[in-house]
Structures are given as C-alpha cells and as structure tokens.
C-alpha cells in the first residue's frame, strides 16, 4: 500500500531534550515536506525537500532541522525543543504528472513541557 509513515504518533518530551520524528514514503516521490498544524492557523510548512540532499526552509523553519540522505526518508529534528513547538506535525510526499497530489502521514502529536 502506498503510504507515508510517521513515527511516533504521540510524543511528550521536556524542554531542551533533542528528538527526531521519522517520516518514510514508499512511492519513490522526489518531493517531501513537513507541516505543523496549530488551531486557527491551518497547516504551515516547516521544511521541504525537492530531492536527495536538497532541502529548503518553509514558512516556519525556526527551531527545526531536516535531512534527506535517502529518497524515502525525511526526518524532522528538534535539537532543543521548546513549549511553543507543541503542535501536530504532518509529513507529506508529492506525486507529479496526471496524478499530481500530496500523500500525508497520520500525524505526530508532540507536547513539550
């Protein structure tokens, strides 16, 4: 089944403790991105990647890092999480051509205390 897999689904952590949210897709998509969802703000793009070793900032990149060493994986790294990064996070990959569209992971609900 074509899918984007995020882990973990839920995470509670403490301020300053480094964490990584993993994202993997099995559709051989070149484009992947990360979003955060906050009430009243919709989803905002954090980082995106056009292909392996090609990443760029989205609209709210502060406090986040990403890497794209392999096509299928696009982890989101919070080196020193803060409470304002408490949010719901979604990873997505994109298909192009006639079937243009985005496939989203199930989401990761992160709480930073």
Partner 1 sequence: AQSVTQLDSQVPVFEEAPVELRCNYSSSVSVYLFWYVQYPNQGLQLLLKYLSGSTLVKGINGFEAEFNKSQTSFHLRKPSVHISDTAEYFCAVAFYNQGGKLIFGQGTELSVKP
Q: Of these, 65, 86, 102, 111, which contacts partner 1 (CB under 8 A)?
A: 102
* Residue number with CB closer to partner 1 (8 or 16): 8
Q: Cα–chain-centroid distance for residue 45?
A: 9
10 is a contact residue toward partner 1 (CB under 8 A): no
Smallest distance from partner 1 to CB 87, Å: 14
Among 17-25, 62-70, 77-85, 89-97, the segment contacting partner 1 (CB under 8 A)? 89-97
Pick 10 or 69: Cβ nearer partner 1: 10
Label residue 111 left, alpha or beta by phi (over 0 means left) and psi (-120 to 50 means alpha): beta
The secondary element (H helix, E strand) that includes residue 15 is none
101: contact with partner 1 by CB under 8 A: yes
Residue of the chain from 66, 90, 93, 110 that contacts partner 1 (CB under 8 A): 90
d(CA 70, CA 61): 21
For 28, the token pair is 């051989």
Residues 6+ apart with CB under 8 A from 40: none
Instruction: Show contacts with partner 1 in window 50-79 (CB under 8 A).
Output: 50, 58
């Amino acid at each position: 089944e074509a899918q984007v897999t995020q882990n973990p689904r839920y995470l509670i952590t403490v301020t300053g403790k480094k964490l990584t949210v993993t994202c993997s897709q099995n559709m051989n998509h070149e484009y992947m991105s990360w979003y955060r969802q906050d009430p009243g703000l919709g989803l905002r793009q954090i980082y995106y990647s056009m292909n392996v070793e090609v990443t760029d900032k989205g609209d709210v990149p502060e406090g986040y890092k990403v890497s794209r060493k392999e096509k299928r994986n696009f982890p989101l790294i919070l080196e020193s999480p803060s409470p304002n990064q408490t949010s719901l996070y979604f990873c997505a990959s994109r298909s192009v051509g006639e079937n243009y569209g985005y496939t989203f992971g199930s989401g990761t609900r992160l709480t930073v205390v």
